[in-house]
């Protein structure tokens, strides 16, 4: 039996960004070839940000279209929407009853996000978010969870919760491993190279959105913040901006960073940025076109997602039965 993979992405924006692709979705596509892969659009997680219902629907469908355009294929993986599989909520509660308050309070993503919006505007769901994420993963008995570096702590928590449950109530869950690449797992904001590229923070000027028109992305890359030097060299401490652009180029073009450094020796940052812009735009132009085509046939997308949810429910309901039984809940 091939190993199981599960990951999720929030429909919190009209477009995924370069960090989502290089940190996560690129691996999703690669792993579906020889794994039993489940990929989930985590709309319940996205409810932690207040969103207009029309937008929520539109972004969920746009997420599905982008994932397919980026290379997920329904005959190789199960693609579904989290809210269509109620077992996520069922196991989510159990995870909340297993996690310590202190343990959950240490999650840095919660601390960062709640600090930004202030206590009164922070919903309780943002606090319990990692326990729902643990449920997403454990329901499918996943061996690997392909994510970006920012999710490492949540996967650690998931492992702890799985181990704790197994110890207390008998073997129930596979303890999953995070699957995080050495390169590309932390793409930085182009305007603020010390911060991660993110859908929900920053001005947007430093975020490359895959569905944006080429002119917009060319402009953003050409105005990326760099340093006062002239050398195209990978040095994350002294040259965070240039290093980020080198990583982006290398990941999309398949050229080694050392080869890029050599090729741009003696040339200025302008030439280099121009080429990065070209690589990005050429890579994503056909993907954007395909995603827009897929979005035109809404009923085909809905059908595909419904089929995915059915397959997901079959696996998830087995895990829930076993979990309830081990907990002594009378069925």
Binding site for ligand ATP (CB under 6 A): 9-10, 12, 19-20, 22-24, 147-148, 150-151, 185-187, 196-201
Which residues touch 136 (CB under 8 Å, ≥6 apart)? 6, 8, 40, 42, 82, 88
Round to whole Å and give the CA distance between 323 and 329: 9
Which residues touch 87 (CB under 8 Å, ≥6 apart)? 139, 313, 316, 317, 319, 320
Round to whole Å and give the CA distance between 278 and 276: 5
Residue 26 is a catalytic residue: no
Rank residues 151 and 323 by Cβ distance to ligand LTN and give the closer one. Answer: 151
Q: Token pair for residue 125?
A: 């769901």
* Nearest approach, Cβ of residue 133 and ligand LTN (Å): 4
Phi, psi of 209 (to 5 degrees): -95, 130
* Nearest approach, Cβ of residue 82 and ligand ATP (Å): 12
Does residue 8 bind ligand LTN (CB under 6 A)?
Answer: yes
Does residue 199 bind ligand LTN (CB under 6 A)?
Answer: no
- Displacement of CA 274 from its chain's centroid (Å): 28
Site string for ligand LTN, 127-166 (x = CB under 6 A): ------x--xx-------x-x---x--x------------
Q: Which residue is nearest to ligand ATP (CB)?
A: 23
Residue 325 is a catalytic residue: no
- Displacement of CA 257 from its chain's centroid (Å): 24
Q: Token pair for residue 179?
A: 């699957």
- Of 3, 26, 54, 113, the active-site residue reads 113
Does residue 42 bind ligand LTN (CB under 6 A)?
Answer: yes
Rank residues 177 and 238 by Cβ distance to ligand LTN and give the closer one. Answer: 177
Residue 233 is a catalytic residue: no
- Of 54, 116, 182, 196, the active-site residue reads 196
Rank residues 196 and 222 by Cβ distance to ligand LTN and give the closer one. Answer: 196
Does residue 12 bind ligand LTN (CB under 6 A)?
Answer: no
* Nearest approach, Cβ of residue 88 and ligand LTN (Å): 9
Phi, psi of 327 (to 5 degrees): -80, -10
* Nearest approach, Cβ of residue 45 and ligand LTN (Å): 5
- Of 26, 186, 199, 273, the active-site residue reads 199
Does residue 4 bind ligand LTN (CB under 6 A)?
Answer: no
Question: Could you tell me which of 269, 214, 267 has the C-alpha nearest to residue 245?
Answer: 269
Does residue 45 bind ligand LTN (CB under 6 A)?
Answer: yes
Compute the Cα dihedral for 226, 227, 228, 233 and give only its sign.
negative
* Nearest approach, Cβ of residue 6 and ligand LTN (Å): 6
* 81 binding partner (options ligand ATP, ligand LTN, none; Cβ < 5 to 8 Å by kind): none
* 206 binding partner (options ligand ATP, ligand LTN, none; Cβ < 5 to 8 Å by kind): none
* Nearest approach, Cβ of residue 298 and ligand ATP (Å): 22
Q: How far is CA 17 from CA 97, 193, 227, in A?
A: 34, 15, 23
Q: Tell me the catalytic residues.
A: 113, 196, 199
Contacts with ligand LTN, residue ranges (CB under 6 A): 6-8, 10, 42, 45, 133, 136-137, 145, 147, 151, 154
């Amino acid at each position: 039996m091939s190993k199981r993979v599960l990951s999720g992405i929030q429909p919190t924006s009209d477009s995924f960004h370069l960090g989502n692709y290089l940190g996560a979705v690129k691996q999703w596509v690669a792993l579906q070839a020889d794994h039993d892969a489940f990929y989930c659009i985590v709309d319940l997680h996205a409810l932690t940000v207040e969103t207009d219902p029309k937008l929520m629907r539109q972004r969920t469908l746009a997420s599905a279209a982008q994932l397919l355009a980026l290379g997920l294929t329904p005959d190789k993986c199960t693609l579904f929407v989290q809210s269509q599989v109620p077992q996520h909520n069922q196991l989510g509660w159990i995870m909340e009853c297993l996690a310590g308050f202190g343990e959950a309070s240490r999650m840095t993503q919660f601390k960062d996000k709640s600090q930004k919006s202030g206590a009164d505007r922070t919903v309780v769901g943002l606090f319990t978010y990692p326990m729902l994420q643990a449920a997403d993963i454990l329901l499918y008995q996943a061996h690997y969870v392909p994510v970006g570096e920012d999710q490492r702590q949540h996967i650690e928590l998931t492992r702890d919760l799985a181990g704790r449950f197994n110890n207390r109530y008998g073997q129930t869950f596979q303890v999953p491993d995070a699957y995080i690449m050495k390169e590309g797992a932390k793409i930085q904001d182009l305007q603020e190279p010390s911060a991660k590229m993110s859908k929900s923070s920053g001005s947007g000027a430093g975020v490359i959105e895959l569905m944006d028109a080429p002119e917009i992305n060319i402009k953003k890359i050409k105005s990326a913040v760099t340093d006062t030097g002239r050398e195209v060299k990978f040095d994350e401490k002294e040259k965070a901006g240039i290093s980020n652009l080198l990583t982006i180029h290398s990941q999309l073009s398949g050229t080694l960073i050392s080869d890029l450094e050599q090729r741009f020796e003696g040339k200025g940052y302008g030439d280099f940025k121009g080429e990065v812009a070209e690589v990005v735009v050429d890579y994503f132009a056909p993907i954007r076109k395909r995603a827009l085509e897929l979005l035109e046939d809404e009923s085909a997308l809905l059908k595909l997602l419904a089929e995915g949810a059915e397959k997901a429910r079959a696996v998830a309901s087995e895990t829930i039965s076993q979990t309830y039984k081990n907990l002594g809940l009378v069925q």
